[in-house]
Chains A and B, each alone.
Chain A
Amino acid sequence: MAIVLVVDDDAAIRRLLRNTLVRADHAVVEAADGRDALARGAADHPDAVLLDLGLPDRDGLGLIPLLRAGGAAVLVVSARDATEEKVAALDLGADDYVTKPFDTDELLARLRAALRHRRPAAAAAQVAARGDLSIDLDRRLVRRGGEEVHLTRKEYDVLALLARQVGRVVMHKQIIAAAWADDDEARIEYLRIVVRNLRQKLEAPGPIGSVIANELGVGYRLLAAR
């Protein structure tokens, strides 16, 4: 379906990713270091890049803007799990961040979300839906099991922001900047409370986080329907 460039210096990981991606009907191009990655990126015009940060010739973070400039979605796949590292990668334009060791289903879901967002037609989807939940962005209408859910303005703003990028992580600071645009004092605790209220209104009784997932220290993600 899509051309995916896998950048990793470890051959075993590359083989694993190749198998996974091919099974999901993607075409795969491989690169073992940064130089190779840029050359492949220019030659093969990949739709997405799975990028390892610990490359032998240069730090992967520096590659993100270059690969993004070629029009590819960039997913960082790294063993580095520090919050600062994730935030830096997202700030540089990465679409998502997956830490090793990863769950292959999870990785494919993130890749799908990134590819979907990259296609303008899909990004403009008016209705985002997950299970019994539907969000009509045009009419500002949220339904659960066919029943309308009443949301406050802030709740709707946050949900809409997440819904426009279904399956992708949206950083706290992006949400706060968008939803509290007129408030210089806006703080993360506002966001926490709003998300808590949203979850109470939207999620079925049971484990919390089945609709809105929490990326520790980074942001929130509206889970895509499987």
Chain B
Amino acid sequence: MAAGRPDPDALLRAAAQEGRGRLKIFLGAAPGVGKTFEMLSEGLARRRDGVDVVVGVVETHGRAETEALTRGHEIVPRRAVAYEGRTLFEMDLDAVLARAPRLVLVDELAHTNAPGSRHAKRHGDVEELLAAGIDVYSTLNIQHVESLNDVVAGFTRVRVRETVPDGILEAAEIEVVDIPPDELIERLKAGKVYLPQEATRALDHFFSRSNLSALRELALRRAAQAVDARMLEDVRALGLGGTWAGGERIVVAIGELPGADALVRAAKRVADGLHGPWTALFVETPRAAAFTDAQHRRVAATMTLAAQLGGAVATVPAPSVVEGIRHFLADARATQLVLGKSRRSRWFEWRHGSVVDRLVRDSPGVTVHVLSLAADAPAGPSSAAKRGGSWGSRTGYVVATALVAAVTAVASGLFHVLDLGNVALLYLLPVMAAASLFGLRTGLFAGIASSLAYNFFFLPPTGTLTVSDPENLVSIVVLLGVAVATSQLTARVRAQADLAARGARTNATLAGFLRRIAGVNDAREAAQMICDDICRLLDVQVLLLRPGGDADVGGGPTILAASDPDYRLGPVDVAAARWALDTGGPAGRGSGTLAASEWLFQPLAAGGRVLGVLGVASDRAGAPVRADQLPLLSSLIDQSTLVIERLRLEAEMRDVDAVRTRDRLRAALLSSVSHDLRTPLTAVIAASAQLHQGASPELIATIETEAARLNRFVDNLLDMARVEAGALRLAVEPVDLSDAVAGAAQDARRALEGHAVLLDVPPDLPLVRADPRLLHHCLLNLLDNAGRHGERAGEIVIEGRNRFGEIRLSILDRGPGLPPGREEEVFETFRRLQGSDRASGGTGLGLAIVKAFAAAMDMGVAAANRADGGGAAFTLVFPSPLVVRDPVPEALD
């Protein structure tokens, strides 16, 4: 991006922040540093400043100093939740929202709420408070930060399950509550630090001096990073052209093995340090087809985690992991690669080659970070899958046996013309057939059966299974080798074909969806198409909702379309949909919020605003969409969002356009009215005044002419007002054009004075469908125009023609004609070409009315210069649907 131009995304994020509450986090290295104390003190200070502060939830753990501080605060009572015989006390979110303070203190941001609460985690509550415009103070220990979870667990051996997404920290102001490690250890010894029961076991280790120093450093660094990130954001929003490290793009390759989430967190740290975008990549190899559901789920969960941490996610199909990663690195022009090294057996590594080694060799210029993955990978998944899959079918063995028998029969029939070697060659046939058709094990079986048969029937001594000549052992080994090689080759080819077919299917699905939806121009139609297509592609029920009209009057989400008209939405479902709409995060089944809903609602967000939510539901247990279909769903959602956004922008553009046109018209109208009404009025008044001195035919003619002109102008103003107000009511009926033209010529006789008018409308011209009054006004204006712009005494021709079923009615004058190349401009409102019109008394409205009326009646209208030169030609075109077929003659007799 060019320096000096504000980054629109950054501005949008900044705009989204406005109206939201601000979050301040008191970040500590460890329990006991005094975060809660600090938060309460600062809360009191704010309270003294006159800020409306309440305590949402604070754990004092019975410490006297802390308790004393809470006494100065207003405390919103907690909500009692009964759970498995115990009573838990949670923050009463609704009560706080109803109380609507300026600032609320919420202790322990990482806390997990009691089951059945609105949000699984307390940070969900905090998000809702922020969204409601309430400022929040909260506390957090560094080990609860999502991306640092592994790091901390790595050196403290204490792993916490409760984590807070990094995104929350990034949007928050962070204050580190810091005391030196020695002091903390003192406080611990003095019993001033409360620790949960289960943690005591690891205490001695956790609170070691070295650990505390490391945690302290982490906390300080994280806080510094947050400041850094926000500064960067500001710099981008202001377009200051900052000096952030440019061009670093990080890719993390994830797999189905446990430990992938650690990889994602590591990548997030690398990306944060380099301020570069990062992508979690899953390479879908043929092996992925044999994944268990648990493995699919693990991949999906890792991808979700990556998205939560702010990374992009991508899935690419490829024949091997190495190849997939290599291509993606090249495509994404990545500079850093984060990989995990699994502790596979040496045997596996020898056979497959180390992925890490090959990537390092094949990707020059890319920094490769390798993380050693936990050894606790259960040996289960891959081998279990293999066992499950490839014992082969019974048919395979039967066919193999039959083939071997057949070859044996043929060979014994031909034995007198064949030597032993050729017989062995014949046995290759059943082995290859079995291996390629039924896989390795059947192939091996055929190999063994063949060598036995060969040995028994043909190798001397025949009739026994002994081998006399060691040379013949070679034949048996070769038969078995061929079985192995053939089956492996076939399996690989088949797997690649499967993979290619699957990729092609996904691409075709997306392309088809895009093609169908690209042609849609109506929002409702598009919504229905999105629902139907996603329903068909993923076999789920689909709902599309958009935000309700006005939030102030309690407008909930409105259903735009549904794949199944008999959908059911309970109160929980509506709440989840609303949540997704309001917050722009997923809600409902399979998400962290309102998981009790039957539906999973995903927001369609573009440009920082939520355009709608897509709900999916199915009868399957667990998440509504299969894990391996999640990437397809998110692609479909992305495309749907684009389409909806496009339609919304188009509609907006039309509105803006209409408003602009109206404004322009209004201004032109005012100037025209004042000029064109006053001119004839002045003439009438002046002429009438002179009548007192005695009438003269000249004066009377002036009054008549000017009054008629005034009348036409008023007619036109009224007509234009009707067009503008959209109040044109058509009364279409069959019209005889010769009749219409004669009537118009009669009414326009004053404007046509001095011109020879030639009516050339054949009496057998078919009738046309039109509103007779509107058509009359069109003709009046065209004749008026011809009379004014045609030269004096020039003839005016009105010509009706039947051209291949469409009727063209032209009005031709003799005169200067229209400026070449600008003929069509004459139809614009208040347009007077050639600047001479003021003198000739034009209003600039007439031709615009002609065009508007013609359009209302589905007629065409064209302006051109006469083909023979020397004049203008205006043509009304009645396309064939407007032409009435001649009635049956009997009806007329």
Residue from A101, A180, A208 within 8 A of B711 (CB atoms): A101
Min CB gap B32→A, angstroms: 87
- The answer to whether the Cβ of A183 comes within 8 Å of any Cβ in the partner chain is yes
Known contacts A183-B891, A195-B739, A196-B739; A188/B773 CB under 8 A? no
The answer to whether A196 and B738 have CB atoms under 8 Å apart is: yes
The answer to whether A189 and B743 have CB atoms under 8 Å apart is: no
Report Cα–Cα, A83/B743, bound state, in Å: 16
- The answer to whether the Cβ of B388 comes within 8 Å of any Cβ in the partner chain is no
Interface 9-mer from B141-149, B693-701, B728-736, B835-843? B728-736
Cβ contacts under 8 Å, A193 to chain B: 736, 767, 886-887, 892
Cβ contacts under 8 Å, B711 to chain A: 101
Residue from A83, A186, A209 within 8 A of B746 (CB atoms): A209
Chain A residue nearest to B710 (CB atoms) is A101
- The answer to whether the Cβ of B131 comes within 8 Å of any Cβ in the partner chain is no
Chain A residue nearest to B765 (CB atoms) is A196
Residues of A162-202 at the interface with B, using a CB-CB cut-off of 8 Å, are 180, 183, 186-190, 192-197, 200
Known contacts A207-B742, A209-B746; A192/B893 CB under 8 A? no
Report Cα–Cα, A196/B729, bound state, in Å: 27
Cβ contacts under 8 Å, A200 to chain B: 763
- The answer to whether the Cβ of B242 comes within 8 Å of any Cβ in the partner chain is no
Report Cα–Cα, A200/B762, bound state, in Å: 12
Known contacts A207-B745, A209-B743; A190/B887 CB under 8 A? yes
Residue from B733, B739, B887 within 8 A of A208 (CB atoms): B739
Report Cα–Cα, A223/B729, bound state, in Å: 30
Min CB gap A184→B, angstroms: 12
The answer to whether A83 and B742 have CB atoms under 8 Å apart is: no
Min CB gap B402→A, angstroms: 81
The answer to whether A214 and B739 have CB atoms under 8 Å apart is: yes
The answer to whether B891 and A190 have CB atoms under 8 Å apart is: yes
- The answer to whether the Cβ of B178 comes within 8 Å of any Cβ in the partner chain is no
The answer to whether A214 and B743 have CB atoms under 8 Å apart is: yes
Known contacts A180-B891, A207-B742, A209-B742; A192/B735 CB under 8 A? yes
Residue from B707, B739, B767 within 8 A of A209 (CB atoms): B739
Report Cα–Cα, A217/B736, bound state, in Å: 12
Cβ contacts under 8 Å, A139 to chain B: none
- The answer to whether the Cβ of B590 comes within 8 Å of any Cβ in the partner chain is no
- The answer to whether the Cβ of B258 comes within 8 Å of any Cβ in the partner chain is no
Chain A residue nearest to B769 (CB atoms) is A189
Report Cα–Cα, A161/B423, bound state, in Å: 113
Report Cα–Cα, A55/B746, bound state, in Å: 32
What string of 1s and 0s marks CB contacts (under 8 Å) between B705-717 and chain A?
A: 0010001000000
Chain B residue nearest to A216 (CB atoms) is B772
The answer to whether A154 and B893 have CB atoms under 8 Å apart is: yes
Residues of A91-145 at the interface with B, using a CB-CB cut-off of 8 Å, are 101
Report Cα–Cα, A214/B707, bound state, in Å: 24
Cβ contacts under 8 Å, B729 to chain A: 84
- The answer to whether the Cβ of A226 comes within 8 Å of any Cβ in the partner chain is no
Report Cα–Cα, A188/B776, bound state, in Å: 18
Report Cα–Cα, A136/B721, bound state, in Å: 49
The answer to whether B738 and A208 have CB atoms under 8 Å apart is: yes
Cβ contacts under 8 Å, B771 to chain A: 217
Chain B residue nearest to A185 (CB atoms) is B891
The answer to whether B731 and A83 have CB atoms under 8 Å apart is: yes
- The answer to whether the Cβ of A23 comes within 8 Å of any Cβ in the partner chain is no
Interface residues contributed by chain A, number (CB under 8 Å): 26
Cβ contacts under 8 Å, B731 to chain A: 83-84, 217
- The answer to whether the Cβ of B366 comes within 8 Å of any Cβ in the partner chain is no
Report Cα–Cα, A78/B10, bound state, in Å: 64
- The answer to whether the Cβ of B884 comes within 8 Å of any Cβ in the partner chain is yes
Using C-beta atoms within 8 Å of the partner chain, give the interface range for chain B. Answer: 20 to 34
The answer to whether B733 and A152 have CB atoms under 8 Å apart is: no
Report Cα–Cα, A197/B892, bound state, in Å: 10
Report Cα–Cα, A194/B759, bound state, in Å: 21
Report Cα–Cα, A186/B734, bound state, in Å: 13
Report Cα–Cα, A183/B776, bound state, in Å: 30
Cβ contacts under 8 Å, B739 to chain A: 192, 195-196, 208-209, 214
Min CB gap B40→A, angstroms: 76
Chain B residue nearest to A189 (CB atoms) is B734
Cβ contacts under 8 Å, A154 to chain B: 891-893
Residue from B734, B741, B763 within 8 A of A188 (CB atoms): B734
Min CB gap A96→B, angstroms: 17
Report Cα–Cα, A196/B735, bound state, in Å: 11
Report Cα–Cα, A137/B883, bound state, in Å: 36
Cβ contacts under 8 Å, A197 to chain B: 892
The answer to whether B886 and A216 have CB atoms under 8 Å apart is: no
Report Cα–Cα, A138/B759, bound state, in Å: 37
What string of 1s and 0s marks CB contacts (under 8 Å) between A197-222 and chain B?
A: 10010000001110000101100000
The answer to whether B891 and A196 have CB atoms under 8 Å apart is: no
Cβ contacts under 8 Å, B763 to chain A: 196, 200
Chain A residue nearest to B711 (CB atoms) is A101
The answer to whether A192 and B734 have CB atoms under 8 Å apart is: yes
Cβ contacts under 8 Å, B734 to chain A: 187-189, 192
Residue from B707, B745, B773, B892 within 8 A of A83 (CB atoms): B773
Min CB gap B677→A, angstroms: 15
Cβ contacts under 8 Å, B743 to chain A: 209, 214, 216
Q: Which of B738, B740, B742, B773 has the most CB of A within 10 A?
A: B742
Report Cα–Cα, A101/B703, bound state, in Å: 14
Report Cα–Cα, A180/B892, bound state, in Å: 9
Min CB gap A81→B, angstroms: 8
The answer to whether B742 and A208 have CB atoms under 8 Å apart is: yes
Min CB gap B650→A, angstroms: 36
Cβ contacts under 8 Å, A153 to chain B: 893
Q: Which of B735, B739, B776, B893 has the most CB of A within 10 A?
A: B739
Min CB gap B708→A, angstroms: 9
Cβ contacts under 8 Å, A217 to chain B: 731, 733, 771-773
Min CB gap A159→B, angstroms: 13
Residue from B773, B887, B892, B893 within 8 A of A216 (CB atoms): B773
Cβ contacts under 8 Å, A209 to chain B: 739, 742-743, 746
The answer to whether B746 and A190 have CB atoms under 8 Å apart is: no
The answer to whether B891 and A186 have CB atoms under 8 Å apart is: yes
Cβ contacts under 8 Å, A101 to chain B: 707, 711
Report Cα–Cα, A193/B890, bound state, in Å: 12
Min CB gap B843→A, angstroms: 18
Known contacts A101-B711, A208-B742; A192/B772 CB under 8 A? no
The answer to whether B887 and A189 have CB atoms under 8 Å apart is: yes
Report Cα–Cα, A189/B863, bound state, in Å: 30
Cβ contacts under 8 Å, B740 to chain A: 214
Report Cα–Cα, A191/B763, bound state, in Å: 15
The answer to whether B736 and A192 have CB atoms under 8 Å apart is: yes
The answer to whether B776 and A192 have CB atoms under 8 Å apart is: no
Report Cα–Cα, A180/B891, bound state, in Å: 8
Residues of B861-893 at the interface with A, using a CB-CB cut-off of 8 Å, are 884, 886-887, 891-893
Report Cα–Cα, A209/B318, bound state, in Å: 83
The answer to whether B745 and A195 have CB atoms under 8 Å apart is: no
Report Cα–Cα, A193/B893, bound state, in Å: 11
Report Cα–Cα, A168/B447, bound state, in Å: 111
Cβ contacts under 8 Å, A84 to chain B: 729, 731
Report Cα–Cα, A200/B743, bound state, in Å: 16
Cβ contacts under 8 Å, A183 to chain B: 891
Chain B residue nearest to A197 (CB atoms) is B892
Cβ contacts under 8 Å, B767 to chain A: 189, 192-193
The answer to whether B893 and A152 have CB atoms under 8 Å apart is: yes
Chain A residue nearest to B743 (CB atoms) is A214
Chain A residue nearest to B773 (CB atoms) is A216
Min CB gap B723→A, angstroms: 15
The 3 A-B residue pairs whose C-beta atoms are closest, nearest first, are: A208-B742, A189-B734, A216-B772
Chosen A-B contacts, 6 in total, with CB atoms closer than 8 Å, are A84-B729, A188-B733, A208-B759, A209-B742, A209-B746, A217-B772
- Which residues in A have some Cβ–Cβ distance to B below 8 Å? 83-84, 101, 152-154, 180, 183, 186-190, 192-197, 200, 207-209, 214, 216-217
- Which residues in B have some Cβ–Cβ distance to A below 8 Å? 707, 711, 729, 731, 733-736, 738-743, 745-746, 759, 763, 767, 771-773, 776, 884, 886-887, 891-893
